Structure 1
Amino acid sequence: MRAVRTTVPDLTADPALDLAVDRVSVELAGLRLVHDVTLTAAAGQVVGLVGPNGSGKSTLLRCVYRALRPAAGAVRLGGEELHALTAREAARRVAALPQEHSAEFDFTVAEVVAMGRLPHRRGPAAGPGDGERCAAALRRVGAAHLAERGFLSLSGGEKQRVLIARALVQEPKVLVLDEPTNHLDIAHQLEVLALVREAGPTVLTALHDLNLAAGHCDLLYVVAAGRIVASGSPAEVLEPGLLAEVFGVRATPVRHPGTGAVQLLFDRLAK
């Protein structure tokens, strides 16, 4: 792959950046899956990771929400190394929606969302205002009517909205989302991405849909074979040459007539 010009983040410019991934590498079963990745997300930004299947996006996100420990490098929040924090301290700062989730017990939706308040409690009892926070989060994702339903009885899209509500009620400074629009119809895809921006935390998200990424992210990092190969604004990054090399498609950029955001029309590459 040809070298692609990449905007290299300056991690020394502002030590209070909400999120700084500094030269992180990840190894699993002796195989290096992520290679020397550096990226930053400033307060309130929505930062997207895009790349083909198996490129290392999910593995990198798992380091950010502490499901994996880097083999090299560090992840910092507000200048503090994430893996040096206690689990409770980290959970007050970072909430995550992994790509895969499971539940062995059929909690109600209200109970699942209330789990997002656990990092803020000093005991098993709910804190003052927790019930209203949870109810408000369910209203925000359009799932208030599901509160008494069993979580296991929900459709994939309904489960996704409930889990986003749980992440929001955690009140994190950083929200890590791995394919948050999976299982959602187009209306809920747009609503969820608008919602996480309006909620206020810094967002780091992996997205397969490049048009959703272009329309909702402030900054994009393109990941291929475990490395960052390009970064910048969507208009800078989503250019035909790069998309042909990384994704193997022919892309034609156009401007959205309402928002002005770059959007892409796709076709197969000529053999």
Structure 2
Amino acid sequence: MRLRLDALGVEVGGTALLRALSLTVGVGEIVGLVGPNGSGKSTALRCVYRALAPTSGAVLLDGRALDSLPRREGARRVAALTQENGSELDFTVEEIVALGRAPHLRGNQALGERERELCRRAMADLDVLHLAGRGVLTLSGGERQRVLAARALVQEPDLLVLDEPTNHLDIRHQIDLLRLLRRTGTTVLIVLHDLNLAAAVCDRIGVLAAGELVTAGAPREVLTPELVRSVFGVTATVVPHPMTGAPQLLYALEPSEGTP
């Protein structure tokens, strides 16, 4: 699926949260959104998974306006892992993951063998299969995050929308999740705060500040010391990763001259 954010704008209570954001995510491409807190990253994602209606512009899926799709079709084509995934209901891990199949089933239709196998595979891929019978409220934050990622993958979407999916994950599971995203070949729009992880997994990165797109391009084109200083207000040295060549940022803990 090809995603196009076409001059997307969001205004709430007279405040512009997003201003004329235009960005394309090609078929099978992983595009990251980075930027300071409050820069509009999550707002953009909420428009894509239909939690928020844009004030102006449009979200296009393969050239078709997202808001023209029936809700059920949209749920089959777009899966989201959001920051607001809390649940007070103590479903088991297996039950939570199985909810990802809901858009593909009718009414109370039971899972078939294919659906059950999809759930088992997703739980194995996210290292939560051994937790299948556990209540989700008994899990750690990182375990619960992996369960929710498994639920999104089980949906078999054309587009994955992920808002800080590495939150609460230890380094091994962060890397495992990002490798899995690459392996699926699914079109992905992802928000990441860790610029080094973004550089490692994203084909392209869009940088937001104050609701506007500052620049977009390949990680090595975008993540420069000058941009990091102007957008994030920190000093960094950028070096190539010794194995992959992806840009890696080394941050200065002590402020340099001229840095706030």
Which TM bucket (shorter chain)?
Answer: over 0.9
What is the CA–CA distance in structure 2 between the aligned matches of 1:61 and 1:246, rounded to whole Å?
A: 20
Is 1:136 aligned to 2:118, yes or no? no
Question: Contact (CA 8 Å) 1:168, 1:199: kept in 2 or not?
Answer: no
Query: How far 1:196 moved relative to its partner?
Result: 1.3
1:10-159 pair list within 5 angstroms = 18-128=2-112, 129-159=114-144
Checking the alignment, whether the CA contact within 8 Å between 1:50 and 1:57 is kept in structure 2 is: yes
Distance in 2 (CA, whole Å) between partners of 1:181 and 1:100 is 14
> Letter of the aligned partner of 2:171 in structure 1?
I
TM-score, with length taken from structure 2: 0.96
Q: Deviation at 1:51?
A: 0.2
Deviation at 1:132, TM superposition (A): 1.1
Q: Partners of 2:162 and 2:199 in 1: how far apart?
A: 16
Instruction: Give the 3-state SS of the residue equivalent to 1:161 in structure 2.
Output: helix
Q: 1:269 and 1:204 mapped to 2: Cα distance?
A: 34
Note the aligned Cα RMSD (angstroms): 1.0
What pairs with 1:150-229 in structure 2 (closer than 5 Å)? 150-229=135-214
Deviation at 1:30, TM superposition (A): 2.5
Structure 1: which 5+ runs fail to align?
Answer: 1-16
Q: 1:269 Cα deviation (Å)?
A: 4.1
AA paired with 1:174?
Answer: L
3-state SS of the aligned residue for 2:235? strand
Measure how far apart 1:141 and its partner are.
0.6
What SS does structure 1 have at the residue aligned with 2:215?
strand
Equivalent position of 1:243 in the other structure? 228
**What secondary structure sits across from 2:108 in the alignment?**
coil
Write the letter of the residue equivalent to 2:128. Answer: A
**What is aligned with 2:245?**
260
Deviates most, 76-85 or 108-117: 76-85
1:31 deviation in Å?
Answer: 1.5
* Partner residue, 2:219: 234
Amino acid across the alignment from 1:167: A
CA distance in 2, matches of 1:202, 1:102: 25
Instruction: Return the offset for 1:230.
Output: 0.7
- The answer as to whether partners of 1:134 and 1:169 remain within 8 angstroms in 2 is yes
* Contact kept? 1:174, 1:201, Cα under 8 Å: yes
CA distance in 2, matches of 1:23, 1:224: 16
Distance 1:165 1:269 in 2: 43
Regions of 4+ moved over 6 Å: none
Q: In the aligned structure 2, how far is the partner of 1:38 from the partner of 1:46?
A: 16
Displacement of 1:156 in angstroms is 0.4
TM-score, L = length of structure 1: 0.92
| Whole-angstrom CA distance in 1 between matches of 2:64 and 2:90 | 37
**How many residues align structurally?**
255
Return the letter of the residue paired with 1:36.
Answer: A
- Tell me the secondary structure at the aligned position of residue 40 of structure 1: strand
Rounded to whole Å, the distance in 1 between the matches of 2:110 and 2:55 is: 38
Report deviation, 1:182. Answer: 0.2
Please give the per-residue CA displacement for 1:179-235, whole angstroms capped at 9, x wherever unaligned: 000000111111101111211210000000000000110000000000000110000
Percentage identity across paired residues of the two chains: 58
Which runs of 5 or more residues in structure 2 are unaligned? none
Displacement after TM superposition at 1:90 (Å): 0.3
The separation in 1 between residues aligned to 2:36 and 2:150, in whole angstroms, is 28
